[in-house]
Structure 1
Amino acid sequence: MTVAHILKGKGSEVVTLRPEVTLSEVVQVLAEKRIGAIVLVDDGGRVAGIVSERDVVRVLARSGPVVLEKPIGEAMTVKVKTCTTMTPIEEVLTTMTHGRFRHLPVVEDGRLAGIISIGDVVKMKIEEAEREAREMREYIAAG
């Protein structure tokens, strides 16, 4: 299974902001949309960075509330790990586990095409295990 299978089920809509916004604006959108990360994109739709709830907590602990009115650049990750729609789910799981992050932007032709979360991957793996177990029971019952 690939990332395309996940996006087919959940869709490719991604909440994005421009890299010039303030941390306060990012926090507001995270809360409003009830999401854990926001991808920051440039004029061409290319990933410029990502900021997660963890990033917000870390920068607030380090710099205090004054950082809320500063550009998001102080909190965002600029070397963003990404995947494509053809990336196998196992590879995504390994990347997320080793990188210790929960969100992975999907990029096609240099542009943002979606985002997947560790929850999306776990859900897919559970569905796959349940399907395999069902097929095994059916095979045994038919024998």
Structure 2
Amino acid sequence: MKTVAQLIKLKTHVDVFTIGPDQMVLDALKLMAEKNVGALPVVENGQVVGVVSERDYARKMVLAGRSSVGTPVRAIMSAPVVTVGPSESVERCMNTMTDSHLRHLPVVEDGQLVGLLSIGDLVKEAIAEQASLINQLEQYIRGE
């Protein structure tokens, strides 16, 4: 199975957009809409301190009747943040995300954010690896 570093290199969208914890939730929503992403790592002083997602907004803002104009991201972000390093396997990341009920997983190397994986990224890779294995087995059976 591939490592996180290999998977990040294969991603077509490699830019990781971030937001600060003291920025307003409205700013986070605008950035997510503009960049067509479902979550943003929250970075303070170069360190990932949380993740804010559309799900956080729906559950902690909309359902609570709060205003996104005057609420800082810090108030709704998911923290503490679970991160992985570039050498982790895709399988290990899937287990981490499943066990922790996460949909987004920041990738950190030497304390710096280097990528963000979604559950979709990992599922896509797992399916591709299974398809490759099936193809190899079929070729073996046919004696190719």
Fold match, TM over 0.5? yes
Structure 2 residue identity aligned to 1:142: G
Question: Is the counterpart of residue 51 in structure 1 residue 52 in structure 2?
Answer: yes
CA distance in 1, matches of 2:130, 2:27: 40
Deviations 1:77-115 (A, max 9, x none): 220000011111111101111111210000000110101
Contact 1:39 1:51 in 2 (8 A): yes
Partner of residue 23 from structure 2, selected from 21, 24, 31: 21
Structure 1 residue identity aligned to 2:52: V
Contact 2:4 2:87 in 1 (8 A): yes
What is the DSSP-based 3-state SS (H/G/I as helix, E as strand, rest coil) of the residue aligned with 2:67? helix
Q: How does 1:1-143 map to 2 (within 5 A)?
A: 1-10=2-11, 12-43=14-45, 45-142=46-143
Using the TM superposition, give the Cα deviation of residue 55 of structure 1 relative to its aligned residue in structure 2, in angstroms.
0.5
Using the TM superposition, give the Cα deviation of residue 67 of structure 1 relative to its aligned residue in structure 2, in angstroms.
4.3
TM score, norm. by length of structure 2? 0.91
TM score, norm. by length of structure 1? 0.92
CA distance in 2, matches of 1:16, 1:63: 24
**Which has the higher mean CA deviation after the structures are superposed, 84-93 or 6-15?**
6-15
CA distance in 1, matches of 2:84, 2:48: 12
Using the TM superposition, give the Cα deviation of residue 68 of structure 1 relative to its aligned residue in structure 2, in angstroms.
3.4
User: 4+ runs of 1 displaced by more than 4 Å?
Assistant: none
When the two structures are aligned, how many residues end up with a matched partner? 142
Deviations 1:31-68 (A, max 9, x none): 1111110011123x211221011100111145314243
List alignment gaps of at least 5 residues for structure 1. Answer: none
Contact 2:104 2:116 in 1 (8 A): yes
List alignment gaps of at least 5 residues for structure 2. Answer: none
The share of aligned pairs that are identical, in percent, is: 37
CA distance in 1, matches of 2:76, 2:135: 45
CA distance in 2, matches of 1:138, 1:67: 56
CA distance in 1, matches of 2:94, 2:66: 34
CA distance in 1, matches of 2:66, 2:33: 17
CA RMSD of aligned residues (A): 1.5
CA distance in 2, matches of 1:5, 1:81: 20
**Which has the higher mean CA deviation after the structures are superposed, 116-125 or 55-64?**
55-64
